[in-house]
Amino acid sequence: MSDASVDPEEVRHVAGLARVALDEEEVGRFAEQFADILAYFDTLDEVPEVDRERDLVNVMRPDEVHESLDQSAALANAPETEDGQFKGPRVS
Amino acid sequence: MAENVFITEETVEGEADGPLAGRTVAVKDNISTEGVRTTCGSAMLEEYVPPYDATVVERLKAAGATIVGKTNMDEFGMGSTTETSHFGPTENPVAPGRVPGGSSGGSAAAVAAGEADLALGTDTGGSIRNPAAFCGVVGIKPTYGLVSRYGLVAYANSLEQIGPLAPTVEAAAELLEVIAGVDERDATTREAEAGGDYASAADGDVEGTTVGVPTELVTGVDEGVREAFEAALDDLRDKGAETVEVSLPSVERAVAAYYVIATSEASSNLARFDGVRYGVSGGYEGNWNEAFARAREEGFGEEVKRRILLGTYALSAGYHDKYYAKAQDARAWVAQDFDAALSEADVLASPTMPVPPFERGESLDDPLQMYLADVNTVPVNLANLPAVSVPAGETDGLPVGIQFVGPAFGEREIIRVGSALA
């Protein structure tokens, strides 16, 4: 396995893309573990190119109106609601 | 409960009549149950109560089963030991001090401990077969598309299936019969060509059956596990089966391909957990992105974060072709290999797990070692094939499982062969 560690800055960057906040300890631990795991993923370089023949079929159904959850059931698990709507953080 | 089998104990009575009347079923806690909290073993969903039933739960109720609780699991199905649950680890009821396997460890333990007659688990890379092997029970991972995933909290859609755990192959087949079948709410379900009536296949008759043993799946296996496996093959030969050696050269790349695909799908699936519609809220300080990142820091455990990040990395610009595209090539290669091997044999056999049950805490510090333990089970998910794990004796008093893999929708064949042993 590779003994080079993944750059902690890289871990922070990916965590930012994934919208997961990490503490410093986790960043350090993940940087070390990812070096090993990604070195293992690198063995995929040895995979030959393979013809992917799949019998794929479209599955269609008529676009009909069905009963659905009512508003109160849909909102029941939300941490915050207002006037019958989900309440989320501001967008920017 | 000493073993920490259930996250929520709750009795839901089925309709009186049906093939499962009088039978109790434990349900893995990533399968939605109307009015009963469904946590996925996560702090993120600790308070989540689904407003609807998964299709498989509707079918259980219609079949007259009594649901007795929601079982403990690795958080969002991510783990091989049921130690990553936010609600604490489950203990293996037949091997104290050891893990029950994962991620359906609570479901396997419920059956092994007699807390339920039957159980439902989910299998993305071995999560039904692994705990079945570690707890000495039977588990079936159905062909992809045989069982509806509607109402299953998704981890890696292209790989996972819901399936049964039971004390015997026949009982597992009876439960499979109830949950299998096309569902208009899951467009990936398909009608099995030779569908239905799985229980009648459990006749133990292996006369004239050819069992292929892939050499790659028995090398590197623990000595005691190997002896138990060989004894099970002897048993099958005594009953009239023939064994042949086959080869699956692609499986050496299967675990890497599996973790690239599974983590990539997980990073996308788990993006929905932002603390707005359900789950832990990140509050309203700061902007949208900061609030989401806080909710996800608080709500997710370490293994879940690790996999979301690995998946995000594998899909990010510059790495997509190197990892994700290559993993898809490996997946096609694995499928081809299985096709070739199954043209020489009716079913394939291997040890389910290459090792006996781990001691608790043993694998947590080294995630890569834990990932590698799935080497015999993950190729089956990549190829979308059915497989059953059946008890094959013990090594040093610890359960060993043997796995039989069949062709797509060949459930009857693996049930028949498995039932010769249990």
pLDDT digits (tens, 9 = 90+) for B153-196: 999 999 999 999 999 999 999 999 999 999 999 999 998 766 67
In chain A, which residues have their Cβ closer than 8 Å to the Cβ of B307?
A: none
Domain-located, residue A78:
no
Cis peptide before B107 (omega within 30 of 0): no
Selecting from A33, A38, A79 the residue whose C-beta is nearest the C-beta of B281 gives A79
Residue B28 annotated in active site:
yes
Domain-located, residue A54:
no
* Predicted pLDDT of residue A2: 45
Q: Do B313 and A45 touch (CB under 8 A)?
A: no
Interface test with A, best of B36, B276, B409 (most A CBs within 10 A): B276
d(CA B144, CA B406): 12
Domain-located, residue A70:
no
Q: In 10 A of CB A85, how many CB atoms?
A: 11
In chain B, which residues have their Cβ closer than 8 Å to the Cβ of A48?
A: 329, 333
Domain-located, residue A64:
no
Residue of B196, B154, B170 lying closest to B162 (CA atoms): B154
Taking all residues of chain A, what is their mean pLDDT, rounded to a whole number? 89
Domain CATH code at residue A30 = 1.10.20
Domain-located, residue A65:
no
* Predicted pLDDT of residue B285: 77
Residue of B104, B204, B103 lying closest to B164 (CA atoms): B104
Domain-located, residue A17:
yes
A76 touches chain B (CB under 8 A): yes
Chains A–B, number of C-beta pairs less than 8 Å apart: 148
Q: Which of B103, B148, B264, B267 is an active site residue?
A: B103
Q: Mean pLDDT throughout A56-62?
A: 85
In chain A, which residues have their Cβ closer than 8 Å to the Cβ of B316?
A: 14, 17
DSSP A13-78: HHHHHTT----HHHHHHHHHHHHHHHHHHGGGGGPPP---------------------HHHHHTT-
A56 touches chain B (CB under 8 A): no
Residue of B324, B182, B356, B332 lying closest to B260 (CA atoms): B324
B6-12/B24-28 β-pairing: unpaired
Q: Mean pLDDT throughout B272-284?
A: 91
B347-351/B210-214 β-pairing: parallel
Looking up tokens 């588990």, which residue turns up? B139
pTM greater than the 0.90 cutoff: yes
| Structural domain boundaries, residue A39 | 8-45
Domain-located, residue A60:
no
Q: Do B323 and A19 touch (CB under 8 A)?
A: no
Residue of B2, B413, B411 lying closest to B179 (CA atoms): B411
Contact B144, B384 (CB under 8 A): yes
Report the number of distinct structural domains present in chain A. Answer: 1
* Predicted pLDDT of residue A58: 87
Q: Do A20 and B300 touch (CB under 8 A)?
A: yes
Q: Mean pLDDT throughout B32-41?
A: 98
Q: Is B226 exposed, middle or buried (0-12, 13-18, 19+ CB in 10 A)?
A: middle
Length of chain B as a residue count: 422
Per-residue pLDDT at B364 exceeds 90 = no
Residue B127 annotated in active site:
yes
Contact B415, B198 (CB under 8 A): yes
> What are the structural domains, with CATH classification, of chain B?
6-203+350-418 (3.90.1300.10)
Q: Which of B107, B127, B148, B264 is an active site residue?
A: B127
Q: How confident is the model at residue A1 (pLDDT cuts 50, 70, 90)?
A: very low
